Amino acid sequence: MEYRKIGNSDLEMSAITFGAWAAGGWMWGSTDRNEAIEAIQAGYDLGVTSIDTAPIYGQGESEEIVGDAIKDISRDKLQLVTKFGMRWDLEKGDLAFKSKDNNGKDIDIYKYAGKESVIYECEQSLKRLGTDYIDLYQIHWPDSTTPIDETFEAVARLVEQGKVRYAGVCNYNVDQLQKANETIEIVSNQIPFSMVNRGVEKETVPYCIENNKAVLAYSPMERGLLTGKITVDYHFEEGDHRKGNPFFKPESIERTNAFLARIKPLADEKNASLSQLVLRWTIERPGITIALVGARNKQQSVQNAKAIDVKLTSDEIQFINDELKTAGF
């Protein structure tokens, strides 16, 4: 595995980091707890020492699964990354969207990062994860109802108390990132990035490169689209958020699969899967520090971790970039 420094911090994370959203089941059409635990442990055995989760994933379930998976692993060998600022148990802040929990009960999700809420959420996350500190604590989405400095004063207090090591953000634009950085040093920004979704390269990634902020790329496989296994007639389980997503419309699937067919010979040549080729390309992209990758079971987790073994020359990266351009991505 390769390990990369996060901004100006002393924190190093595995270039392939385990993303535990799907492990929580919520918005992915269910989860198998034991398989999720095995997936995390199998990744760890191959050097995936960093795990990214959030309270909202399964309304606490993902964090609890992570806690179970790591309970016998020495804490100093892990980097635990979680979030705050999305409440399903408090009607305050911006209403983000309406959803259903894993039992099918209606819930309203609010973006809220008031000071008292940040402190409360941290305590809950520490309990669920079974740890006394979080390596990287990130706001999940911007909250327009709370001043940014108020939110990050709370994070600064948690750092002083030793409950959090470093502060990060997710889904922040450059202005928001600069504002947060006035209160506490922000070491990273977790943003959506994939071969077919590269809008953040216009402003956010260049800012992060210039100011030494790590970029944690989420959905690098575009929620499974870039595996090449999604067909036009693919059936999504009830509760799977991908149903109706523009990336999963028939014309998008066809266009993406045609592109993947053109780069597949390169994957074959490397004795790698398409997913592994995509992940290696992602972490070679300028400014991208970490790729956050989900896995529902041990096999997927092992495959993700082994993407690190794929080596790409500059000519091969250029070939992929040219094919992306030809496909109109």
**Active-site amino acid positions:** 57
Instruction: Give a three-class secondary structure readout of 282-312.
Output: HHHCCCCCEEEECCCCHHHHHHHHHHHHCCC
CA distance 78 to 268: 33
CA distance 153 to 167: 11
Residue with tokens 């692993």: 73
Residue 291 forms beta bridges with which residues?
16, 217
Residue 226 tokens read as 């870039």
CA distance 112 to 86: 6
In 10 A of CB 314, how many CB atoms? Answer: 8
Q: Which residues lie below 8 Å from residue 192, measured CB to CB, with a gap of 6+?
A: 171, 200, 217, 218, 219
Give the pairing of strands 12-14 and 3-5: antiparallel
CA distance 121 to 221: 29
Residues belonging to the chain = 329
In degrees, to the nearest 5, what angle opens at C-alpha 264 toward C-alphas 262 and 270?
Answer: 135
Q: Burial, 72: exposed, middle or buried (Cβ in 10 Å; 0-12, 13-18, 19+)?
A: exposed
Longest CA span, the chain: 54
Quick one: DSSP state of residue 161?
T
